[in-house]
Amino acid sequence: MMVPSPPARRPAALWPALGIALLIIINALFDLLAPGGPGLVGPGAFLHVSLRDGVPAGALIDILNYGATFVILALGMTPVIATRGVDLSVGSIMAISGAVAATMSVGGRPAAESIALAVGIAALCGLWNGVLVSVLRLQPFVATLVLMVAGRGVAQMITDSQITTFHDATLEYIGLGRPSWLPLPFSFILAGALLGVTIVAVRKTALGLLLEAVGGNPEAARLAGVRARLLIVGTYVWCGACAGVAGLIAAANIKAADPFHAGRNLELAAIFAVVVGGTPLTGGRLNLVGAAVGGLLMQCLTTTMYTRNIGADVAPLPQALVILAVCIAGAAPVRAMRAQKAAR
């Protein structure tokens, strides 16, 4: 008879990392086996990396270039989900943030002011969500659904229902800039720095413990003296601010604020990145590195779609199927079934 041992804590970043590897292998096989295809590393292949104007280019580089948005969104969403919440409004907050920055910039304000105001308003949106969830005790998906639908309207009103293009070197640098000493884009460095700061804040202070306590059992945490309400408001403010930064990157990438398309369809992707990275929807656990790798997996999936000529409009279909599969694999009845099988 086997003595049941406590489950070993696997690094949760393993699953999304395996997913990325799998996607890259599938892409490489496609390139290799397609008749008349580019071969494994020929021009146009997924693994092909070339130097364009002294800057590396190719599908793999694109994943790093554009992955920052997903990574930052996932970092913001992780504490929210860890405390049993969810934020469906991140896409609309991205649109609002981009619209604010572009409108300010066109109005002749300095970049620092535009950036600060954009992120500040995004954090205010998060505060709004947090108050609805924490003080008014609304279910998180209803509270944030309001901003998800109405927020896009707000963004349209800010830009007067137009796509506002801007020309500002500092603003553009957030999305397109590259430091001369590193072959990586600034947005990726920004995402890495945010990840570092978050990990230190969560794991080197009591914050992570408190978040997991509130997510694990809110009532017990409250009785133990954790200020759960304040903490929950805080997670939504953080999530809003992160969505604001992601919105700035998205706007800088196209040098314009598009209130109709900025951040569209990203809500599900952000939740997926967090869940596949080891933070369950039921809360109580929190894995930041896993979420960040999950964000890269999302970008890998998106880039794969583009290289296979699947349009942005259709891309959410496979995403939705994959997230359902991941949720089913992690669902309590399935876990119980697996545990039963293992015990036999």
Partner 1 sequence: MRLPVSPRQIPIAVAGLILAGLIGLGAVRFEHFASFPNLANLLGDYAYVGIASVGATFVILSGGIDLSVGSLVAFTSVLTADLIRHGWHPLAASALCLVLGAAFGRVTGWLVRFFALPAFIVTLAGMFGLRAACFLIAGESVSIEHPFLRWVSSSLELDAGAGVAIPLRSLLLLAVVVVGFILARSTRFGRNVYAVGGNERAAQMMGVPVGATTIWVYTLAGFCSALAGLVFTFYKQAGDPTSAVGLELSVVASVVIGGTLLSGGVGSIPGTLLGVLILGVIRLLIDFEGNLNSAWTSIAIGSLLLGFIGLQKLIGEIGLRSTQTGGSLDRAPPTP
Helix axes 332-343, 316-330, angle to 10 degrees: 50
* Piece of the chain touching partner 1 by CB under 8 A; list 45-53, 180-188, 293-301, 308-316: 308-316
* 337 part of the interface to partner 1, by CB under 8 A: no
> Residue 186 CB: number of other CB atoms within 10 A?
18
Given 47, 117, 256, 327, the residue binding partner 1 (CB under 8 A): 327
Site string for partner 1, 142-171 (x = CB under 8 A): x--xxxxxx-xxx-xx---x----------
> Which pair of structure tokens corresponds to residue 98?
């981009």
* 131 part of the interface to partner 1, by CB under 8 A: no
> Residue 59 CB: number of other CB atoms within 10 A?
20
Q: Between 28 and 268, whose beta carbon lies closer to partner 1?
A: 268
Calpha distance 298→304 (Å, rounded): 10
* 94 part of the interface to partner 1, by CB under 8 A: no
Q: Between 117 and 281, whose beta carbon lies closer to partner 1?
A: 281
Vertex 235 angle, CA 231 and 237, to 5°: 115
CB of 202 to partner 1, least distance (A): 24
* Piece of the chain touching partner 1 by CB under 8 A; list 25-33, 102-110, 139-147, 189-197: 139-147
Would you say 168 and 111 are in contact if contact means Cβ atoms under 8 Å apart?
yes
> Which pair of structure tokens corresponds to residue 54?
């002294």
Q: Is 9 left (phi over 0), alpha (psi -120 to 50) or beta?
A: beta
Q: Between 170 and 217, whose beta carbon lies closer to partner 1?
A: 217
Would you say 294 and 16 are in contact if contact means Cβ atoms under 8 Å apart?
yes
* 21 part of the interface to partner 1, by CB under 8 A: no
CB of 158 to partner 1, least distance (A): 10
Number of residues located near partner 1, criterion CB under 8 A: 43
* 196 part of the interface to partner 1, by CB under 8 A: no
Would you say 77 and 276 are in contact if contact means Cβ atoms under 8 Å apart?
no
Q: Between 56 and 316, whose beta carbon lies closer to partner 1?
A: 316
Q: Which of 169, 174, 301 is nearest to 247 (CA)?
A: 174
* 141 part of the interface to partner 1, by CB under 8 A: yes
Would you say 84 and 218 are in contact if contact means Cβ atoms under 8 Å apart?
yes
Q: Which residues bind partner 1 (CB under 8 A)?
A: 86, 88, 132, 136-139, 141-142, 145-150, 152-154, 156-157, 161, 265, 267-268, 271, 281, 311, 313-317, 319-321, 323-324, 327-328, 331-334
